[in-house]
Amino acid sequence: MMITVKTISTDLKSVREKSPLVHNITNFVVMNNTANALLAVGASPVMAHAVEEVTDMVNIASSLVINMGTLNPQWVDGMIAAGKAATKKGIPVVFDPVGVGATPYRNEVAARIVNECKPTFIRGNASEIMALAKENIVTKGVDSSASSNSAIEGAKRLATETGAIVVISGPEDFITDGKEVLSTKNGSTMMAKVTGMGCTATAVLGAFAGVNANRLEAATHAMAVMSIAGEIAAAKSAGPGTLQLHFLDTLYNLSEADIEKTFKA
Ligand SMILES: Nc1ncnc2c1ncn2[C@@H]1O[C@H](COP(=O)(O)OP(=O)(O)O)[C@@H](O)[C@H]1O
Ligand SMILES: Cc1ncsc1CCOP(=O)(O)O
Ligand SMILES: [Mg+2]
């Protein structure tokens, strides 16, 4: 599969035209950043986690994002109910296994979400993907302690075992269905110094999955847009504080000409 400036721009245009409703069950740290990034890219975010309403919300959404950054048992009930309802309805489910490998509780919840919700996409950093793929890795909380290319074999196996498209983020992002491995090479080291950038990538993936049924394409386009916007924004930023602001403005204004100038094939 070939990802080009044209294919990325076409999907970005679809997100802006269709403004898919992305239902997020996400963590306390990133809720605001995530909602703002979805608005900036052209999608429509809603955050809803109560078990009493998640199935109704899924029924009007184009995609569901499950992010396990800050867990508690009530939220887990909401995640599982929403994930099952989305899979039954046939809308894409994007799972972000934040911090999996760090505690037994996170491992147990991640395994339940994978087994019971059958996510269509799993996006994590290298440590998280390796932990989920049961590779030998010592995780240190929510940040990666491994390089993204060291997780490729585990990601391929995880994709084959679960049927999900697996995305490893990092200096280079890798996207696999278990057979093919695509990559995107843009970005900035400064992106890892803003909390919630990975969660934002997962949510943006939800937006692209809501408009493009080709899952490998949707995931690669989403990661390309994230890292192109991050690279342009970082070049204008003195540090992580201004990067957060510039990132939203860059996502909002991102044009085909910007993609053409910046995209590293
Ligand atoms: N060293 C880096 N160079 C370029 N881009 C990066 C780098 N680290 C992270 N990114 C980008 O930042 C975003 C978040 O990725 P990452 O930091 O791996 O996620 P997480 O926050 O879940 O650990 C992704 O879009 C990724 O491409
Ligand atoms: C710091 C932190 N702690 C629990 S969730 C969270 C946010 C993690 O976000 P990201 O993985 O996108 O940096
Ligand atoms: Mg993360």
- Give the Å distance between the CA of 50 and the centre of ligand 3: 23
Assess contact for 9 and 259: CB atoms under 8 A: yes
Q: What's the number of CA atoms in the CB half-sphere (13 Å) around residue 4?
A: 4
Distance 126 CA to ligand 2 centre (A): 14
The arithmetic mean of pLDDT across residues 114-128, rounded, is: 97
All residues at 6 or more sequence positions from 12 whose CB lies less than 8 Å from its CB, including other chains: 41, 42, 221, 225, 254, 259
Cα–Cα–Cα angle for 164, 205, 3, rounded to 5 degrees: 85
Closest CA to 162 of 210, 113, 124, 205: 113
Tell me the average pLDDT of the chain: 97
- pTM for the full predicted model: 0.98
Q: Nearest CA to 225 among 37, 61, 44?
A: 37
Q: How far apart are CA 143 and CA 192, in angstroms?
A: 8
Using alpha carbons only, give the angle 197, 201, 205 rounded to the nearest 5 degrees.
165
Q: Please give the pLDDT value at position 137.
A: 80
**Domains of the chain, with CATH numbers?**
5-262 (3.40.1190.20)
**Each residue of 140-179: pLDDT tens digit?**
788 888 788 889 999 999 999 999 999 999 999 999 999 9
Q: How far is CA 195 from the centre of its chain?
A: 14
170-210 residue pLDDT tens: 999 999 999 999 999 999 999 999 999 999 999 999 999 99
Q: Is the CB of 100 under 6 A from ligand 1?
A: no
Ligand 2 within 6 A of CB of 124: no
Q: Residue 119 burial by CB count (10 A; 0-12/13-18/19+): exposed, middle or buried? A: buried
pLDDT at 146: 79
ipTM: 0.99
Q: Whose CA is nearest to atom 10 of ligand 1?
A: 170
